[in-house]
Amino acid sequence: MTNIKKKTPRVVTTEDLDKLGSRLDSKISKIEAKMATKDDLKKFATKDDLKKFATKDDLKKFATKDDLKQQIRLSEDRTSENFDIKLEEKFTKYTDKVTRGLDQVMGELSSIREENTARNARDKRVDQRLDRLEDHMELSKFAD
């Protein structure tokens, strides 16, 4: 034998309905407390108030994304041009300094070469004189 329990149907009593009604009343009153009243709504902006703000035409006067992109491009172009100009000025300035420095070095090098040429000519004359003296005195046997 199996033990089968039969469910007995539950009957709703007036007492149950009263409890449910009181629960619903408390929940409704909580919801009503959170809702805005007519007085609350009067505190918000009206259509006339909103008309005092910017209109569509006013908003169209403001910059758009395309306007901002164009301004950014122009700014980048100006920045690039300024950078190029400053770079060129510095390059010219330093090129002038380097060129002046090279001119000095080349001038010194030229004077050193002239001195060497003169010294070599003098040394050549001294060597020739020594050779003649050695030949004259026959000292070549004892040389070196």
- Quick check: 97 and 106 in contact, CB under 8 A? no
Measured CA to CA, the distance from residue 93 to residue 91 in angstroms comes to 5
For the chain, what is the domain count?
A: 1
Question: Chain-wide mean pLDDT for the chain?
Answer: 82
Task: Express each pLDDT in 85-116 by its tens digit.
Answer: 888 888 888 888 888 999 999 999 999 999 99
Q: Domain range spanning residue 58?
A: 14-142
4 assigned to some structural domain: no
Question: What's residue 30's pLDDT?
Answer: 83
CB-based contacts of 139, cutoff 8 Å, min separation 6 = 133
Question: What's residue 9's pLDDT?
Answer: 64
- Quick check: 61 and 53 in contact, CB under 8 A? no
CB-based contacts of 71, cutoff 8 Å, min separation 6 = 63
Measured CA to CA, the distance from residue 81 to residue 87 in angstroms comes to 10
9 assigned to some structural domain: no
Degrees, nearest 5: CA angle 122-128-131: 145
Task: Tell me what the mean pLDDT of segment 8-27 comes to.
Answer: 81
6 assigned to some structural domain: no
- Quick check: 140 and 134 in contact, CB under 8 A? yes
Helix (H) or strand (E) holding 52: none
Task: Express each pLDDT in 117-136 by its tens digit.
Answer: 999 999 999 999 988 888 88
Global confidence as pTM = 0.34
Residue 60: is its pLDDT beyond 90?
no
3 assigned to some structural domain: no
37 assigned to some structural domain: yes
5 assigned to some structural domain: no
Question: What's residue 106's pLDDT?
Answer: 94
2 assigned to some structural domain: no
124 assigned to some structural domain: yes
